[in-house]
Structure 1
Amino acid sequence: MKTKSFQKLAFFLTIMTLFFQSCKEKPQKIEKPEQTIDYKYANHLEEEYKNTRGAIIKKYLEIEDTREFWFELEKLKEYIAYVEQEAETLGYKNLGIRIYNGAYPKDKKYPDPGYSTVFLVPTGNKITSKASFFPISLTVVSDNNIQDIPAYNYGQAGRPPQELR
């Protein structure tokens, strides 16, 4: 008798599990963002950089400077989540990331002395309230760098640079 009750319970639980799994929302397909470019066009941009700016850097600094940087995707996601969290507490909306070119001083305390780097700076619009005659007066400060959130650096730079092709 106990075996039949156990079998019925196991059957019921199996059916319920299958039912609830089938009710899960299927993830939506992510569409290609508008800003994507094809590989051939990307290669054209890199070649243009090498033939203009890269050639000048090589001639005057006498180095083949890095021109490509690698950041681990999971670390970038962590940074973006951190920016979103901190920006919310600071009252920023419409967040973005601005990418700056930089160069390390020729000093051994830096990871790549004398070479280029890039770093990411969070941006956003701060909405502030101002006292006024009207019940609500909002000022939107547009697209500013958020100086209260640290910038992001220290990806891996290609030395020598890795060709895109």
Structure 2
Amino acid sequence: MKNPPAKPSQLITKEFAKVLNLNYNKKKADLTAKSAKSAKPKEDANAIWYSLEELENYIHYIKTQGLEDGYTVDGIRFYFGVYPEDEKHGEKAGLTTLFLVPTGKKTVTSTAKVQSFALVQEQTSSDVESLSPMNYGNIGRPPSLTY
């Protein structure tokens, strides 16, 4: 490989990932036990999976659409959610989900030849509300999936 990718600075150890996953599963189990209203509690999702193709397609889509909407898309924020308790959502009703929201900065067109450094610093990345979030990854349910 001529130009291997740089090693990401956000990598964590497998051991720490296991700790995070176990903590999540314990916390979620405690919350589920406290709020169990139905006689038949469901096992909730503890992992969400997206294919590389889906993620690459979404990244391409939000970059392209972002430019058309006047944004420089610079990231993706991952939000946790819970499906509404209704028939429309079938077996996912009441279960955890993870959805992706593009983030970016509004492209500023300026007639000034020199932009002030302070102005550049003030502009922060935020959710791009004109672009659609992505959801509907495949869920993993305990006890079959633990890290």
Match for residue 128 of structure 1 among 79, 85, 108: 108
**Map of 1:163 onto structure 2:** 146
User: Alignment length, in residue pairs?
Assistant: 137
Q: Unaligned 5+ residue runs, structure 1? A: 1-25
Q: How does 1:37-116 map to 2 (within 5 A)?
A: 37-61=12-36, 62-93=41-72, 95-110=74-89, 112-116=92-96
Shift of 1:50: 2.0
Q: Report the alpha carbon displacement of residue 135 of structure 1 after superposing the two structures with TM.
A: 5.7
Q: TM-score, normalised by structure 2?
A: 0.80
Q: Which runs of 5+ in 2 are unaligned?
A: none
- Of 115-124 and 85-94, more deviation after overlay is shown by 85-94
Once the two structures are superposed, residues 32-59 of structure 1 have per-residue CA deviations (whole angstroms, 9 ceiling, x without a partner) of 2000112111001111112223322233
TM-score (norm 1): 0.72
Shift of 1:156: 0.6
| Cα gap change, 1:113 to 1:128, in 2 (>3 Å) | same
**Could you say if the C-alpha distance between residues 32 and 137 of structure 1 is closer, same or farther in structure 2, counting changes exceeding 3 Å?**
closer
Instruction: Determine the C-alpha separation between the residues in 2 that align with 1:64 and 1:117.
Output: 13
Q: 1:149 to 1:84 in 2, by over 3 A?
A: same
Q: Which position in structure 2 is the counterpart of 1:117? A: 97
RMSD after superposition: 2.3
Following TM superposition, by how much is the alpha carbon of 1:114 offset from its aligned partner in structure 2, in angstroms?
1.1
1:13 corresponding residue in structure 2: none
Q: Which amino acid aligns with 1:127?
A: T
1 CA distance for matches of 2:23 and 2:52? Answer: 27
Alpha-carbon spacing, 1:55–1:91, altered in 2? closer, same or farther (3 Å): same
On the 8 A contact 2:62/2:73 being kept in 1, the answer is no
Contact 1:101 1:116 in 2 (8 A): yes
Q: Which residue of 1 aligns with 2:124?
A: 142
Q: 1:94 offset after TM fit, Å?
A: 5.2
